[in-house]
Amino acid sequence: MQRIEIKAEQFFELLKIKGTSMWEIFSQMIDGNEKEIIFLDHEDKVLFNYILPVEQEKLEEDRKEFSKQFSDKLANFN
């Protein structure tokens, strides 16, 4: 499995500037090989990781599940 390390702050800033989502970027990265995407903070400490699936269908399932969990967490803050 290929490991890809990403500086989270810079990555999300770039997404904001480009007006794209991380899911669009992840979709472009699918090539039939599983990848571990590791998000790092400014001190290179691991914030979280994501195993990029080998198929678009699984990525879409992950996106829907992430959106649901994120919405649920936001609802708990209100």
Residue 54, Cα to own-chain centre: how many angstroms? 14
Residues 49/36, Cβ–Cβ less than 8 Å: yes
Q: Quick: pLDDT tens for 9-66.
A: 999 999 999 999 999 999 999 998 999 999 999 999 999 899 999 999 999 999 998 8
Distance CA 53, CA 3 (A): 13
Residues 41/6, Cβ–Cβ less than 8 Å: no
Binning pLDDT at 50, 70 and 90, where does residue 77 land?
Answer: low
pLDDT score for 75:
76
Judged against a pLDDT cut of 60, whether residue 78 lies above it is answered with no
Beta bridge partners of 5: 38
pLDDT score for 70:
75
The number of helices, as runs of H, and strands, as runs of E, in the chain is: 3, 3
